[in-house]
Amino acid sequence: MRFQLPQLCRSIISFVYLTNNLASHHHQYVLNCRITQARKYIESGLSTSRVALDAGFADNSHLNRHFKRIFGLTPTQYQRQLSR
């Protein structure tokens, strides 16, 4: 089977597009799972530094950045709001 150049280019572009999008969606899925787990840990009373490590984040600031983007509060603010 012989490919002509336009067909080959379209195939390569489609493969690259699909690969990039799947990787992006996979990363977002993993991040969402970590955030959900972090919220459960926070609600159980764990310290935010412990939560960051147990939920799979590199450090506390990594957790803070993503948690705030989703919930509009830092993990500490969320924890304080729960205790009221």
pLDDT at 78: 95
* Domains of the chain: total: 1
pLDDT at 14: 66
Model confidence band, residue 29 (pLDDT cutoffs 50, 70, 90): confident
Write out the residue range of the structural domain in which residue 53 sits: 5-82
The span from the CA of 31 to the CA of 63, in Å, is 10
Q: What is the DSSP string of 36-82?
A: HHHHHHHHTT--HHHHHHHTT-SSHHHHHHHHHHHHSS-HHHHHHHH
pLDDT at 84: 81
- pTM equals 0.72
CA angle 30/75/40 to nearest 5° reads 60
- Give backbone dihedrals phi and psi of 73, rounded to 5 degrees, phi first: -135, 155
CATH code of 67's domain? 1.10.10.60
Mean pLDDT confidence for 25-47: 90
Model confidence band, residue 22 (pLDDT cutoffs 50, 70, 90): low
